[in-house]
Structure formats: C-alpha cells, structure tokens
Amino acid sequence: MNKKIEAYGVDAIDRPKIKATRSLDLSGIYGQQIVKSETKLALRTHRKTFEKLADM
C-alpha cells in the first residue's frame, strides 16, 4: 500500500501498533448479549454478502 500512496506524492509513515488495554469477558449472560448484538449488526451490515454465500 505504501507504493500506491507514494505514487500520489504523499510520504508514507509507519504508525505504531495499538495494543488492547482491556480484556473482554464473553462468558455469562452479558457476554451472550454482546455476541448476539454484534452478530445481528454483522448480518444486517453484510446482508447481501451472506445471501450470495448462501446461494453458492
């Protein structure tokens, strides 16, 4: 990707990697709610992609 950016005359710089500072506990009732809501969001956002994959 750096070569693509540099083709437009923009200097590419290295960004520092950001590490997670917290851990997310997905066990229990609250974890199930998080997984369920994120799954619904992904299915709603990428609905057409999942439909095409289902037809394969």
Q: What is the pLDDT of residues 1-56, one digit of tens each?
A: 677 878 888 888 888 999 989 998 999 999 999 999 999 999 999 999 999 999 98
3-state SS of the chain is CHHHHHCCCCCCCCCCCCCCCCCCCCCHHHHHHHHHHHHHHHHHHCHHHHHHHHHC
pTM: 0.55
pLDDT at 46: 95
d(CA 42, CA 15): 28
| Both tokens assigned to 13 | 């710089």
**What is the domain partition of the chain in residue ranges?**
24-56
- pLDDT attached to residue 51: 93
pLDDT value at residue 39: 95
Check residue 17 and give its pLDDT: 92
